[in-house]
């Protein structure tokens, strides 16, 4: 029973309660752990040496973008949902972002309704919820498909291939290295502030920023040498045509 169906048949308050219960049941039954990601020679060749930061994405506001702006950072990628029993993890994600962003860390939330239909339909609803309930300032991408298949987001195809695991419920987590070529997966039941997640983040933060991700220093514009004004040639005094030189006296 999805939240969309609940919204048409019961009050908003009860719908929220059912959504929370669905998340609790998922955690209790182990559905929230993870699921195996498809593995094949084709996927391995596509993603093994590829950088996560080379992906083209779309922001929550619908703008085309690239993850290249986060290259060189350590990234925590999370499939988020606004009406889940685990939605409270937003608070921990924001705390992590505030605490570690100056060290080169970023959180990227990817809204999805794959599990229990627990995400709003529109970007405006998602943004309003995140702003008003959790004051979220970290980047959010467009609502996406997490589960394997033709419509799966390349974000999760890439990270699933690299780790062999996909989220089995809302709030699965990937810690991605600075070069974007390695990742570690943590299931929904693992808090973003858990010792395991923090250890993985700090381990990647301790690595040097790849040369390819460093911003080249701004070049100081070369000064054009000033031109020395050309001196006008000194003109010889004009001599009258009919004047004669006076010979010196002896």
How far the first Cα of the chain sits from its last, in Å, is 133
- Rounded to 5°, angle at Cα 151 from 116 and 3: 20
Q: What distances in angstroms separate CA 164 from CA 36, 39, 126, 156, 203, one per listed residue?
A: 6, 7, 29, 11, 20
Residue from 33, 84, 130, 158 carrying the catalytic annotation: 84
In the residue annotation, 130 being an active-site residue is answered as no
Three-state DSSP at 119 gives coil
Residue pair 205/99 in contact by the 8 Å Cβ criterion = no
In the DSSP assignment, the letter for residue 73 is: S
Which positions are catalytic?
84
């Amino acid at each position: 029973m999805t939240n969309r169906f609940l919204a048409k048949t019961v009050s908003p308050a009860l719908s929220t309660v059912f959504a929370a219960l669905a998340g609790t049941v998922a955690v209790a039954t182990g559905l929230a752990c993870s699921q195996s990601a498809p593995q094949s020679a084709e996927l391995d060749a596509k993603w093994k040496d590829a950088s996560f930061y080379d992906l083209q994405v779309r922001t929550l506001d619908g703008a085309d973008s690239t993850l290249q702006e986060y290259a060189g950072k350590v990234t925590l990628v999370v499939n988020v949902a606004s009406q889940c029993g685990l939605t409270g993890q937003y608070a921990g994600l924001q705390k992590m972002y505030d605490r570690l962003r100056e060290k080169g860390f970023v959180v990227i939330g990817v809204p999805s309704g794959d599990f229990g239909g627990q995400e709003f339909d529109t970007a405006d609803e998602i943004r309003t919820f995140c702003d008003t309930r959790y004051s979220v300032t970290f980047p959010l991408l467009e609502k996406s498909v997490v589960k394997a298949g033709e419509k799966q987001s390349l974000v999760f195809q890439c990270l699933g291939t690299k780790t062999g695991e996909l989220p089995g419920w809302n709030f699965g987590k990937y810690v991605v290295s600075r070069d974007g070529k390695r990742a570690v997966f943590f299931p929904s039941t693992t808090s973003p502030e858990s010792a395991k997640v923090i250890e993985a983040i700090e381990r990647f933060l301790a690595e040097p920023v790849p040369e390819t991700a460093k911003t080249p220093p701004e070049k100081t514009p070369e000064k054009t040498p000033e031109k020395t004004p050309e001196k006008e040639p000194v003109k010889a005094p004009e001599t009258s045509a009919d004047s004669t030189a006076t010979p010196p006296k002896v």
